[in-house]
Structure 1
């Protein structure tokens, strides 16, 4: 059930190398450039924060919501890139005595992911300077990476491919068009997007390569791993949404009713499920590739496992009286 790729993999790896060389950027010279995050600016656009689900928030609170979610957004990608870089080091060994174009592409990928981790670490420090004290990013990077890397390569590459495709979509559809965002925060995701564009291609190539080596039984087990990984991601989102809701309520500038506090917590979790799960698995580029690799019964199995999260993330707007 291998997908048909219209272009030779070596050619696609070579194109990724060429793009990597051409767009190579530096954190200080090109992205941060001595700037700071301005607390007067939004960090994340309304289309990602889904702040309109919370109509009782005033303009200052909507601004804070974008900053809280934007800070978590950057930290979440730093977390993801921790296990992505480790997995790419692993798969790169398969190319060491083989296709040197593939090897260079994967090595460049790994180097860029390490740079992205440092970029997001720097942004967290700038966010801490710009925002009130008390924010907590709950997931522990090494613990999460160990959990993820304990699963099959097929499932980790599937998850990675989904996440890196979604970074492309979020930037082009939501972040780039929003003129009200912090210029620095916007630049962070512009430069991140530039390198993630070839990373998504390499993810696809490595996923296809791994899939070609699997038996039907091994693929079925890998699908089970993928379902478990998505459930683990959802668990992290629930934990972080609760922490972010507590932080937001503490700094909202007024006492919120219990109903409003509950709506904030639900709104944050719905937004996070949309950002990190739903917007990825529903992306045609990802869903078509996944469907090309699996049987109808396996597709139904994945759909059944995802249904509760998909339904909760698609809840109607929460109407709460101020």
Structure 2
């Protein structure tokens, strides 16, 4: 029996369109993205629109570039981490379609395959970053532990977080094409090709999230909202930990002693940038706020807003 969702009037043709788009934009890590290149360490890895290093006016241009490169390495590690639990969840989501809608099944199988490829891309990027950076960098979150925690939550909450992630990738691509001549061309291509496939993933996330929402009772949805808040808090906890580690690493390799106030400014700048990159840029995407807002009550929205206030500020 094919899965249908009368409540949300989901159009099965959208799965077929995602398959067609997946085939059209399909890319290869070596042939299309890396193309035999290595990183040019005379350039920033992330554009200022994402890294926010230009807000740290007490740092010189070379120091801002170095801090951007540290953020780029953390970016690769963060996406290697989140793609792991996304791939696992998408494979799980495909289960009900095994003997049902074969367009939906193929779309989700392709989705999971692309997420596994993205993991490999970002592992490659991490190794390439490491080749030109001083020793001492450490990425502290452990991918399997994070994935286990995320996947312990309800499907509604995990799909909400996943949709949020896919949509902020689109925002990051827009931020990477602002004409910053000091940004790495290779990193621009990473943003471009990642965006090409994540654009389809965001559509599938929305379809599956709506399907899951339609089957929940009000009590189940209320619990799922609390779990989404827990997941965002866990992401923010990771960002706080990594921002401190990256600030300490920068202070060690920047080539001059920083005052305590300077170290704290770097830490605050990194935390603000990471919160923008991995939380705020997705929350502020109109597609995400519209999708979430269509599913929750005013009281639930108020609980989310209260939890988000310290992060947004």
CA displacement at 1:74 relative to structure 2: 1.5
> Structure 1 residues 177, 17: CA separation in 2 closer, same or farther (over 3 Å shift)?
farther
Root mean square deviation, CA, Å: 1.5
Aligned residue runs from structure 1 range 176-215, under 5 A: 177-215=179-217
Question: 1:275-299: per-residue Cα shift (whole Å, max 9, x none)?
Answer: 1111111211100110000111111
Q: Is the 8 A contact 1:3 1:208 kept in 2?
A: no
Q: 2:295 maps to what in 1?
A: 293
Q: 2:14 maps to what in 1?
A: 12
> Structure 1 residues 178, 15: CA separation in 2 closer, same or farther (over 3 Å shift)?
farther
- Relative to structure 2, which stretch is displaced further, 32-41 or 143-152? 32-41
Give the number of the structure with larger relative contact order, counting CA–CA contacts within 8 Å between residues 6 or more apart: 1
Q: Is the 8 A contact 1:43 1:70 kept in 2?
A: yes
Q: Is the 8 A contact 1:176 1:186 kept in 2?
A: no
2:206 and 2:264 map into 1 onto residues whose CA distance is 40
Q: 1:126 maps to what in 2?
A: 128
Asked if 1:74 corresponds to 2:109, the answer is: no
Question: 1:7-44: per-residue Cα shift (whole Å, max 9, x none)?
Answer: 84311111110000111111111111111111111100
1:174 and 1:27 map into 2 onto residues whose CA distance is 19
1:90 and 1:287 map into 2 onto residues whose CA distance is 25
What's the secondary structure of 2:43's corresponding residue?
coil
CA displacement at 1:183 relative to structure 2: 1.3
Q: Is the 8 A contact 1:166 1:283 kept in 2?
A: yes
Q: TM-score, normalised by structure 1?
A: 0.93
CA displacement at 1:237 relative to structure 2: 0.3
2:80 and 2:6 map into 1 onto residues whose CA distance is 30
Q: 2:166 maps to what in 1?
A: 164
Asked if 1:37 corresponds to 2:39, the answer is: yes
Q: 1:277 maps to what in 2?
A: 279
Picking from 232, 254, 264, the partner of 1:262 is: 264
What's the secondary structure of 1:189's corresponding residue?
helix
Give the count of matched residue pairs.
Answer: 309
CA displacement at 1:169 relative to structure 2: 1.1
Q: Is the 8 A contact 2:176 2:191 kept in 1?
A: no
2:134 and 2:92 map into 1 onto residues whose CA distance is 40
Q: TM-score, normalised by structure 2?
A: 0.96
Q: 2:63 maps to what in 1?
A: 61
2:159 and 2:257 map into 1 onto residues whose CA distance is 45
1:77 and 1:71 map into 2 onto residues whose CA distance is 10
CA displacement at 1:3 relative to structure 2: 11
Q: 1:107 maps to what in 2?
A: 109
Task: For structure 2, list consecutive stretches of 5 or more residues without a partner in the other structure.
Answer: none
Q: 1:137 maps to what in 2?
A: 139
Picking from 10, 22, 25, the partner of 1:23 is: 25
1:86 and 1:208 map into 2 onto residues whose CA distance is 19
Q: 1:91 maps to what in 2?
A: 93
1:192 and 1:3 map into 2 onto residues whose CA distance is 33
Task: For structure 1, list consecutive stretches of 5 or more residues without a partner in the other structure.
Answer: 312-322
Q: Is the 8 A contact 2:77 2:126 kept in 1?
A: yes
